[in-house]
Amino acid sequence: IHTEMHMIGCSETEGAFDISLDEEDMIVADFIAERVVDTQPSFVDHISFGKDAFQVAMGILIACRRNLNITQKALKDQPLES
């Protein structure tokens, strides 16, 4: 049995996206270089994520930032209880 994990995170200025298998990174999105980095070692059969992997990661980052913005506005508009 294997464990696959997708990690997604964002702030107003940064983002993180990676996919791991059994706690080993397989791909990591480099949003500065605008590409996905294959981190699998050369001696294994590589799992392909397709040529659109970076666009998928970018779409997830945009959704994350949108949700972050909505959450920040909702928390800001909450009345403070005394």
Write the CATH number for 66: 3.10.320.10
**Is the predicted pLDDT of residue 82 greater than 80, yes or no?**
no
Give a yes or no: residue 72 inside a domain.
Answer: yes
- Domain span holding position 53: 4-76
For 9-42, give the DSSP string.
Answer: EE-SS-EEEEEEETTEEEEEEETTTTEEEE---T
Give a yes or no: residue 81 inside a domain.
Answer: no
**Is the predicted pLDDT of residue 65 greater than 70, yes or no?**
yes
For 54, the 3-state DSSP assignment is helix
Give a yes or no: residue 31 inside a domain.
Answer: yes
Give a yes or no: residue 71 inside a domain.
Answer: yes
Q: Evaluate whether 18 touches 36 at the Cβ level (below 8 Å).
A: no
For the chain, the domain total comes to 1
Give a yes or no: residue 10 inside a domain.
Answer: yes
Give 17-44 pLDDT, tens digit per residue: 999 999 989 999 999 999 999 998 889 8
